[in-house]
Amino acid sequence: MKKIFLTILPLLFVVVGHAQQNTSDCQKMDFLNDEEVDIHASSFVGEIKEIKILEKNLESDAPQEIIRTIKFDDKGRIKETFLTNARIKMYGRTVYSYDAQNRIIKKTSYNPDGSAVTENVFGYNVNGGLELKAVQNAVTKKVIMKTEYKYESPELYSQYYDGKFARRIKLTKDEKCRIVESNLYKEDKSVENKLTTSYDDKNNVVESIVFAPNGRTIEKRKYEYEYDNNGNWIKKNIYEWTFRDGDKPYTLIQTMQRTITYLNSK
């Protein structure tokens, strides 16, 4: 079941990444590019300097905790992200580079010792849509993996991994430009699976459901939030459907506590 869900999960990242966008930004949205933006950082309103997220994964006997830090530049763009846990002060550091249109053109990942490991390099078509993502060695520049995007429309496109067809994706948006349905298709155009998404009045995802080709539900998640005075979420609980009947069909699998530093913070 998990494998099926993971094939469509990147689309859920896109949905979450668009939370709290203004309706006027609808035509500016680039779904694929937002896959590359930290999903926890891109869901906010106001001028932000830094976001720290304490993530607790509760599915194991010994819950795992990490702190995710996201720093922003003076233009409100993500500058760098990194992780911290009980043993390591900084790991998974990623630095972002942008072009004149504020599109991400490169993400460089570093080892804890500061040495560069890999680069994600992005290319765009004349309409501004992401058409190429290459993962390469940061030192030798040897390409490790290449993903290409071919569009039939902004909401209908195909992905190719190293020249081979991977999936065809069709997105459906509501009047607020939020993605409410994502359909994945195989090369023969048969349905692989479908994701539907519901939102609260602050445009944050409150429920996601994954369906098999025959319409059977195979994955459901619910999301609960607490907000600060600026309307940004500062706590999120994630629940997963357990396939059980009864009073508690959902299990809490992850909590996130988000500390936001605003530019006008004293």
The structure tokens listed for 21 are 């966008």
pLDDT score, position 30: 44
- What whole-number distance in Å separates Cα of residue 7 and Cα of residue 169? 11
**Amino acid occupying residue 48:** I
- What whole-number distance in Å separates Cα of residue 186 and Cα of residue 40? 30
pLDDT score, position 88: 87
CA of 81: how far to CAs of 84, 95, 221, in Å? 10, 7, 26
CA of 204: how far to CAs of 177, 220, 239, in Å? 13, 16, 15
Q: Return the closest-CA partner of residue 31 out of 160, 208, 207, 156.
A: 156
- What whole-number distance in Å separates Cα of residue 109 and Cα of residue 91? 9
pLDDT score, position 246: 61
Specify the fold of 2-262: Porin (2.40.160)
pLDDT score, position 14: 43
User: What pTM value is reported for the model?
Assistant: 0.82
Rg (CA), the chain: 19
Segments of the chain with pLDDT less than 70: 1-42, 244-248, 266
- What whole-number distance in Å separates Cα of residue 239 and Cα of residue 251? 5
pLDDT score, position 63: 73
pLDDT score, position 243: 72
